Each structure stands twice: as structure tokens, then as C-alpha cells.
Structure 1
Amino acid sequence: MRTDIFARLDREPEPPKIEAPRMSRHRIALFGGTLAFYVAIVWAVLITSWLVALDWKVMLFRPYQQWPELHAFLDYYVVLGQRGPTAVMVACWLGWRSWRQHTLRPLLVLGTSLLLLNVTVGAVKLGLGRLGPHYATQIGSAEMFAGGDIFPSGHTANAVVTWGILAYLATTPRARRYLSAVSATVSLGVGLTTVYIGTHWLSDVLLGWAAGLLILLALPWFEPLIARAEMWIFAMRERGWERWRERRGGARPASVPGGGPQPVLLPQSMATDGPAAEAVATAAPGPVLPAGHAGTALRARAHTGHPARPGGMPVAPAGVRRPPPHNDRGPRAGSPARPMTGG
């Protein structure tokens, strides 16, 4: 009994085409509300409002000193928000799904979301330049435009996007509900863990949640681009396979060099000056030769690459001068030698 799992999977029927999510009114409303929350958090920090005072209270409370027994576990748990390890784990799972579903869409969606995450979150981080709690210089200050890169929280936004992709790509409503709950729990825990350790302000985590959710909600707008990219990749793969097959199949038969017309051969029984020969000569693209000259015509064609004259003499190409006669060849028999002149 054969137990090759890959052979069994290859025999499975191709799954039905999975419909990509569309930008519905409900999703647009969620996107608008999340964007308003994002702008409100940024504005509250810029004007040093009550949110900044709450940041300082939580920071001075020092949660890692209040519950030190959780520190060892949370140091490992926060890795679920690091971009490198989480991207590798999720990419492996989505790669398996791409192979099973015969589509590149899961991997392309993951790549698009990570690209949007790096561009949007990275630009806001560098533009606002907020310092983290460990590098704060003045109590009660928002620590903005000081050369930092802490606002919004990259760990939190990455956890929302990376684990939320699993729910976004779910194929059934039940799986989507379960994966949404799992991704929300993981991203919520990662954000609070960064506050516990002291690497982020509470407002950093709030803005990280909003930044990641905005990317997930905006993904349907990029679905047409993802579909075109998938078609282009498959087309390039087919071209590559065709070139590889051509190379593996060996060299093609060498075509006859030159682009001139091919000579037409007549059988020995047909005279070259009869009415039938005149009709053939009128319709033929090349010179008409008797069948007895077939070997001579083909040899002349192969050596020169140009059509052959009747009688086996090749036609010299245009613009090529014939070589001068050899000086060591004597005069022809029956003809007097030419007198030497000029001396």
C-alpha cells in the first residue's frame, strides 16, 4: 500500500475558485471609523492632552515591577509581534495553502499587507519621532519630534496584520469567526505586553491597533492588483517552462542558409524546353533544374547559401568580387599565350 502523501494530494480534485472580499458599505464604515480614531489619537498626543498624562501614570506604575513573575513568560510571548518570526511562520502556512488551492493569492496578500505595514507605520514613526518610555527626558512631556521611532507601536500593528491575514483569507464564515477571535486575542496581548515591559506608551499601542486594522480593512482595494500580479507570474512561469522544454528537446534541424528561392527539379522524362517546363518555370519561385542535377544543386546551395544555376554553378552573391585567377595556372590548351606587356 502506497503511503506517499504528496501523490495522494496530487490526485485530489482542484478546489473551487475562492472569491476575494469586496469593499462593502459595512467595511467602508469600519474603515472610516478606524481612520477617525487614528487621527484622534495622533492629535491627542500632539497637544499633550489627558492621554499623555495617562501614558506617564502607567509608565511610572511600572507593571513589570508589580508582577515580576510574568516577566519571563511575556518576554517570549512578545515575539508573536516581531515581524521576522511571525512573517516566516505565517508564510509557511500560507505557502502550504497556496499549493493546495493552486493559487498564489494567499502569499501575494501577505506580501501586500506587509508592504503597506512597513510603508505606513514606518513613515509615521519617522515623521513624529517620539521617544519611548525608557528614553523620556521630561515628565509629562509627549516626547514628540525628538528623533525616536516608537509611535505607533510596530509590534502591535504587526500582530494585528500578520495574524489578521489568517482571518481575512479564511474560506468559511465559521473559520473566519474563530480566526478573527484568535488574531484579536494575540494582538491585544502583544500590545499590552509591550506596555508591561515598558518599551511602549499606552497611546503607542492604541495607535498600533488602529494602524493594523486600517491595513486589513483596505486590502479589498488591492485585490484587482493582486489578481493581475498572479496572472503575470503564471504567464512568466509558462514561458520559462516552454524555454526549458525547448532546450531539453535538443537543437532544431538546421534550416538552409540564405533566403533565396529554392530550385525546382524536373524529372528526366520532362524536357526542359517543352510546354510543361515553361508552365512550371513560370509558376516556380526559383530556377528549374533537371532531376540529374539535384545533387549538384543541393551541394551548391549548402556551400554558398545562394541559388544554383543550371549546370551546377552557384550564383555569386551581390557585391562579392570573384577572386583573381591563380598565377601558377598555365594557359589553356589551344589558345596562344598572351604576350607580357609593360616591360
Structure 2
Amino acid sequence: MRTDEKLHRPAEYPTTRDLPRMSRTRLWLFGSTLAVYVAIVVGVVTSSKLVTLDWQVMLWRPYKQWPQIHAALDYFVVLGQRGPTAVMVAAWLGWRAWRQRSLHPMLALGASLLLLNITVGAVKYGLGRLGPHYATAVGSPELFAGGDIFPSGHTANAVVTWGVLAYLATTPRVRRWASVIAALLALGVGMTTIYLGTHWVSDVLLGWAAGLLVLLALPWFEPAMAWAEDFLVAAWHRLRHGSGLAPVPARALGQRPGLVTQRASQAGGQPALEAVGAATGGHTAAMPHAPGRPPAARHERTPVTPTGSRRPPAERPVRPIPLAHQQVRGRGAAGS
């Protein structure tokens, strides 16, 4: 089956251009998560007790308390790294998109990662917080020092990347199980970064909130995904069937197009223009005369000449008539 035919099959997840209405539960979750997000940022900026907790956990050094699990958690934290997780999830959703004949799964992943990079990246580089391993003063929030640690990108990425699988689940039961698994993975990745000493506690808390905000806001971008899918499918069809891009049949290569001739149609006696020749495979395409005008008589039609050079043909030399032929002609003229 061709790819353009697959893209025209009905999708399992119908998309819409109308802005979806959020349920009260989702709106309440979005508002409360946003409030927590702002509270964490304010708590770090004002050097509140949240910063004190950060330093207490950092000075306790969890990786020294349980060194036996250090090697295993070094591999586990990769489940929150943007590159490997994006490749794994994109491979699965790419197969889903092919099965469903829809680009919606891939567009949902792309939109969620784009939102995550914009929102998390802006706060990271705007606040410039240093990580625990690069801290300079005990009790300081380490802000505006050229760092990029707040919020935790590993944690936010784990929430979004694995949460998208739950967002795209087909049944409520699968969605519940996928949500539980995604929450456990995000929780484990965040706690692992604290254990390894690569993030403050407040970094992880803000990463969880940032990722959850992206997932809760994703339905608002469904109209943009539907528009993008329509645009990509139309662009694919223009690429495959557009002018000069469609494959040329092998039988038509090397053959000259036929001439345009005039022939009266057998139904009603009305004239029609037909294109005949090797390029059309012997089939003719009739073009009826313009409506409202009587068909032109045969002597009034414009003669159609073949395209090519308009140079007059070279003059042929005059061949002398043999004497026997002249005598025959003379006798015929005399007898008449």
C-alpha cells in the first residue's frame, strides 16, 4: 500500500480544529499545578525554607549513604534523558501512526517536547541556578550565576515523554495503567537525580510541576496539530503528484506526442477536438465547443497544423517530361 493512501485512511484519534473545552477536573489540576509552580519559584528566589531543605539534603549526600545502588541508578536515570527517551517513544509512536494511518501520535509527541523545551529552557537560562556540585556559598539559592539546573530537565522530560503515552492511550483502562507507570518513572527519575547530587530538591519539585503543566495544556494545541497534519498530507500529495514530480510511464519515454486533429463526434454530429498520439496511449480526450455558439462549418474551421519549424520546404528541381509522354498529351488534347 502506498504511503499517501495510508495517510488518507481514517485515524483512530480524530482531530478537530475547534478548541476543545477542558473539563473542570483538568482546569482545577492545571490551576493548582500552576500555583505550586509559582510558589516553588518564589520560594527559591526569596531563599525560603525550601532552599534550606535543598542544602540539608545536599550536605547529607545520599549517594554516600547507599553506595551499593549507585551503579544501577546511573543507568536508571537515562529514562529521563531527552535524547534516549525521545528515540524510544518516537519509535513506538511512529509504529502507532503507521497502524492508525494518522500523524497525530507523532505530532502530539513533537508538540509536547516543543512546549517542554520552550517553557523549561526559558526558566533554566533566565534564573541561571548552579547545581549542588558547583555551589559556592552554603544557604545561597545560587541564582543568576550562569547555571542551567532549575527546574530539573530530566524530571520534566520523564513526566512529559512517558506521560504522552498515557495521553494517547486508546481505552480508559490502558490510560490508567499508563498514567501510573509514567508517574512511577517520573518519580523515580526525580529521586535518582537527588540521590546522585545532580539536582536540588526544589529543582525536582519544579520539574514535576513543569512537566505536568505541559501535559495538562496539550489538549489546547489539538487544533494546531490538526492543521499541521492537513498541511503535511497536502504537501506530501503535492510532492508525489505535483507538476513535474509525478513519475513518467516508461512507455511514453522517447515517443513524440501526436497531433491535434478535428473530428465530428458521432453523437449529434457536433465537432470535437481530440488529442491523439503515442503520449496518450491511444486514448482521446474530447473537448466540446463553447456553449452558446453554433458549431462551425467545415470550411470555417481553422486548420490545425503540426507544431515545429515554419520554414517553407525546399523547392524541388523540375524534372523534364519525356518526349513520349509529351506526344501522348498532345494527341489527347487534339482528340478532345
Q: Given the two structures, how large is their TM-score scaled by the length of structure 1? A: 0.72
Residue number in structure 1 paired with 2:167: 168
Q: 4+ residue runs of structure 1 moved beyond 6 angstroms? A: none
Aligned residues: 268
Alpha carbons of structure 1 residues 216 and 124: separation in structure 2 relative to 1, 3 Å:
same
> 1:28, CA displacement in angstroms?
1.6
1:62-116 Cα shifts (integer Å, max 9, x gaps)? 0000011110110000000000000000000001111111111000100111111
**Rg (Cα) greater in structure:** 1
Does 1:18 pair with 2:13?
yes
Q: Which amino acid aligns with 1:91?
A: A
Q: Residue 303 of structure 1 aligns to a residue in which SS?
A: coil
- Superposed counterparts of 1:188-227, under 5 Å: 188-227=187-226
Which residue identity lines up with residue 177 of structure 2 in the other structure? Answer: Y
**Residue 10 of structure 2 contacts residue 102 of structure 2 at CA under 8 Å; is this kept in 1?**
no
Unmatched 5+ residue regions in structure 1? Answer: 1-5, 265-277, 288-296, 306-312, 315-343
Give the aligned partner of residue 247 of structure 1: 248
Contact persistence 2:11–2:101 (CA under 8 A): no
Counterparts of 1:173-322 in structure 2, within 5 Å, are: 173-243=172-242, 244-248=245-249, 250=252, 254=257, 280-281=298-299, 283-284=300-301, 286=302, 298=305, 302-304=308-310
* CA pair 263-58 structure 1, distance change in 2 beyond 3 A: closer
Q: Distance in 2 between matches of 1:279 and 1:76?
A: 88
SS of residue matched to 1:189: helix
| Amino acid of the structure 1 residue aligned with 2:149 | I
* Cα distance between partner residues in 2 of 1:162 and 1:69: 29
RMSD of equivalent CA atoms? 2.8
Q: CA deviation at 1:254?
A: 3.7
TM-score (norm 2): 0.73
User: Counterpart of 1:98 in structure 2: which amino acid?
Assistant: A
Task: Report the residue type matching 1:17 in the other structure.
Answer: E
How many angstroms apart in 2 are the aligned matches of 1:204 and 1:185?
18
- Residues 313-342 of structure 1, C-alpha deviations (whole Å, 9 max, x = no match): 79xxxxxxxxxxxxxxxxxxxxxxxxxxxx
Between 1 and 2, higher relative CO (CA 8 Å, sep ≥ 6) is seen in: 2
Shift of 1:24: 2.2
Q: Deviations over 1:189-226 (max 9, x none)?
A: 00000000000000000000000000000001110110
Question: Secondary structure at the residue paired with 1:204?
Answer: helix
What is the one-letter code of the residue matched to 1:209? W
Counterpart residue number, 1:85: 84
Give the AA of the match of 1:304: R
Which residue matches 1:110? Answer: 109
